[in-house]
Every structure is written in C-alpha cells, then in structure tokens.
Chain A
Amino acid sequence: MKVHTDPLVDDYLRRLDAAASTLPADQRDELVSEIRDHLEEALRQTPAGDQAAVRNELERLGSPEEIAAAAADPAPSQPAGAASQINGFAIASVLVAVLWFAGLGAVLALVFGYRARRQIKDSADGQPGSGLATAGIILGWIGIAIVVTVVILISLHPNKSH
C-alpha cells in the first residue's frame, strides 16, 4: 500500500511534525521523511485498508512525542555530563594548599586531595582533576613538613625568643 494515502499514517506524521517543532528545520524534515520511508517499507506488502497492520506498525514505532523527544535529547551517549567537570575536592585541595600554605591548610589540602583521588578513581569515566589532587597532596605534605621543621627548630632553641 502507499502510506501517503492512509489517514492513520497521515495523522501520525502530522503529530510527529508538530512534536518535532523545536528541532532545526532540516533535522525535522529528515526525521519525518525517515519515518515515512520506514512505514512505506514496513507496509509495502500490506493491502490497502488493512487498519490493524497500520496500527501495529505505528505502535512499533512508538509515539510521535517519544520520537521527537529522542531527537531533541542532546547527547544520550554522555548521560553523566556533570562527571566530566573537574573534581571539586581536587580544586579545594589546591586552593587551601596555596592560600593557607602551612598549618591547618596543609592538613585540609591532604584531606581534600586524598578524597578527590578516591572520587576520581571511583568515577568510571575518569573524571578530570587527578593532577590537581596530586598537586594539592604534595603541597599539603610540604606544608606539614615546614610546620614540623619550624616546631623542631623552636623546641631546639627555646631561649631564642627571649
């Protein structure tokens, strides 16, 4: 049968066209024509007026709204868009390490740095920020080394402050 003569198909394609109205015009035209070709192919052996066959084919396609939604979806291949952002703990680690070099900042840099590393390791798609986390950890240890050195020096020369 010729699908462009079938009222059910006509109605379906009109709904699809309307549902896809947010797409760029060329993508929408392509989508509607692909679906029309699909139905043409699916119903080629079907005698005209076989309403059940037409309904079955339309059902297999899914609703026009569902198809339009799939077309409007920007990137189903990357559902975890947020995961590609740099790890927050890694940034925090470097920030506290730099802004608050020795003392408590160094401890925080280590806590954040190791936490960032663990999160990055757990993220399946390799979240960026592991370099930053390492930098934070190194700065943190340097900070702690400095604090320890200063404490030792002060304790070795207890009278120097007098």
Chain B
Amino acid sequence: MEPGRLRNPVSQLRKGTLEYCVLALLQDGQRYGFELVRTLSETDGLLVSEGTIYPLLSRLRRDELVSTSWQESEAGPPRRYYQLTAAGKRALADFSEEWARFRDAVDALVTPQRRAGR
C-alpha cells in the first residue's frame, strides 16, 4: 500500500454494502439467482462481477439471512429462488437505518457547499 493512500476505498465500501444490496433486492419478494445477479450487475456504480455474487448468496444462505427453494420455470430447468428470512429482514432494516446516518455524515463532510454553512 502506498503511504498516505487508502487501498481502493470505494471498492472496500462496495464490498461491504453489496450483501445488503442483495437483501434489499429481495424485500419485495423472492427472486431467482440469475435475475438477482443481472439486476445487481446492471445497477450503475456497483461494478460487480456477476460471478462473485454467487458466493455471497451462498454465504447469506449459510447465515440464514435468506432461504432458497427450487421452483419449476415455464422455460428450461428449475430455478433456485432466494427469499428473505425474518433475520434477513431485521438485518436489512438495521443496515438501512445505519446507512442513512453514515451516508449523511459522509455527505456533510465531503460536500463543499454544506461545509460552508457550518
């Protein structure tokens, strides 16, 4: 690491928040893996490699934040659907609250016009 520079600060942030983005995508109901992964990868600014979301999904399942079920699809083989568990909903709610505070705090510091008003 170069002295005086953080290593990829934004990529660390992305990494830390990605699992909550996954949980957030599931709050309106179940989705299957491919759909979830494609939606995330097409979200501007997240810059995720699609393949790396699958290990994350598997971890969320092991942590019992999501549950999965196989369901028949109208075309092609059965799909594995992911949905939030009660613990997943709680984790998402906690994160959303923390995140709003965190985002406002960082905004207040890094946005120049807001600093002028202090």
A residues lining the B interface (CB < 8 Å): 27, 30-31, 34-35, 37-38, 40-42, 44, 60-64, 66-67, 70-71, 73, 76-77, 79, 124
Contact = CB atoms under 8 A, between A and B. Distances in A.
Contacts of A35: 51, 54
Contacts of A42: 34, 38
By Cβ-Cβ distance, the 7 closest A-B pairs, closest first, are A62-B49, A71-B55, A61-B51, A67-B51, A70-B52, A41-B34, A34-B54
A38 B19 contact: no
B33 A38 contact: yes
Nearest to A78: B16
Interface residues of B, number: 25
Contact of A37 (B12, B51, B58, B77): B77
Contacts of B80: 34, 37
Contacts of A27: 58
B52 A67 contact: yes
Given A44-B75, A60-B41, A79-B16, A66 B33 contact: no
Given A35-B51, A60-B49, A40 B76 contact: yes
Contacts of A71: 54-55, 58
B51 A79 contact: no
B37 interface: yes
A40 B15 contact: no
B107 interface: no
A61 B50 contact: yes
Interface string B5-49: 000000010011011000000000000011001100100000001
A77 B77 CA distance: 32
A73 B12 CA distance: 13
B93 interface: no
Contact of A77 (B16, B34, B51, B57): B16
A76 B52 CA distance: 12
B58 A31 contact: yes
Contacts of A61: 49-51
A41 B52 CA distance: 17
A31 B54 contact: yes
Given A61-B49, A79-B12, A40 B54 contact: no
